[in-house]
Amino acid sequence: MKLREDEVRIPAPDCAIRTIVVRPVGVEPLPGVLLYTDIFQLTESTLRTVRRLASYGFVVAVPEIYPRTELAGVALEFDDAGKAAGLAGAAATTTAHFDTDRVAVLDHLAQRPDVTTLYVTGFCIGGHLAFRAAFDPRVAATVCFYPTGLHSGSLGADDPGSLARAADITGRMLIVFGSADPHVPADARLRTISALYAAGKDDVELHVYSGGEHAFMRDVGPRHDPVLTDLALTEAVSFFTGR
């Protein structure tokens, strides 16, 4: 599968969001996917995942999540300094800014002539951002990979109250966790799914992969599990395409 990769600047009210768009070569319209990164932004590891997803027949747009800070244009390293910078970027970003940026990127995808249906996915903090993107009625399906902060009301500079808005989700949703994830342990997973059920979202699909650590899909470092990664990505594609 040959891919085309472009960098675009998507206008938001007070910034331009650097975004990489990857799609199969061709002119036929395809489903569009807004993909949110983890705190390290547009790393080569994430872009490898983006390319894999696009090769299944999607137009994938992956924006920077910190376009207003000094991290704009920066892909962070997977080390202590990179982690600290990524967490600081999150702490400096309000829920309102995250939401504004989401609308801008979804608008961009919706207006592209090569995009049909809108889907969303994301990893870690990006899984939480994907959850919030599911509030947009244009989003037909969402896959959240080990979303952090849903159970605790933690996202950026303020409490986003995401779980309290679970009833606003209109599309289909799949959530993927690893059983050995210290950021989303069993009680946190239970709180998340219980809130969804209480909001009437009892058709949410939940996958908990035995032994999966946090960020098990990141293909750098000792937490990476290639087998679980392939399973999770295959399930996500199947879920998006309606099986």
How many angstroms separate the first and last alpha carbons of the chain?
21
Query: Structural domain tally of the chain?
Result: 1
Mean pLDDT of the chain: 97
Angle separating helix axes 125-133 and 95-111, nearest 10 degrees:
60
Rounded to an integer, the average pLDDT of 79-106 is: 97
**pTM, whole model, 2 decimals?**
0.97
DSSP β-ladder status, 15-24 and 59-63: antiparallel
Percent of the chain with pLDDT over 70: 100
Q: In a 3-state reduction of DSSP, which class is residue 130? A: helix
- What's the domain range around 223? 3-240
Q: What does each C-alpha distance from 145 to 23, 37, 92, 206, 215 come to in angstroms?
A: 21, 10, 23, 10, 9
Question: What CA–CA distance (Å, rounded) separates 171 from 154?
Answer: 23
**CATH code for the domain in which residue 193 is found:** 3.40.50.1820
Residue 217, C-beta contacts closer than 8 angstroms, at least 6 positions apart: 49, 123, 145, 224, 225, 228, 229, 232, 233
48 has a pLDDT exceeding 80: yes
Question: What CA–CA distance (Å, rounded) separates 90 from 71?
Answer: 10
Rounded to an integer, the average pLDDT of 111-115 is: 97
243 has a pLDDT exceeding 80: no
Give the pLDDT band (50/70/90) at residue 1: confident
Q: What does each C-alpha distance from 50 to 18, 58, 84, 161 come to in angstroms?
A: 15, 10, 24, 28
Each residue of 184-242: pLDDT tens digit?
999 999 999 999 999 999 999 999 999 999 999 999 999 999 999 999 999 999 999 98
Rounded to an integer, the average pLDDT of 96-110 is: 98
Per-residue confidence (pLDDT) for residue 27, from 0 to 100: 81
Residues tagged active-site: 124, 181, 214
Q: In a 3-state reduction of DSSP, which class is residue 182? A: coil
Helices (H), the chain: 44-54, 80-91, 95-111, 125-133, 186-198, 226-240
Which of 192, 178, 154 is closest to 228 using CA atoms? Answer: 178
* Cβ count near 105 (within 10 Å): 23
Rounded to the nearest 10 degrees, how much is the dihedral formed by the CA atoms of 219, 220, 226, 232? -50
Each residue of 128-179: pLDDT tens digit?
999 999 999 999 999 999 999 999 999 999 999 999 999 999 999 999 999 9
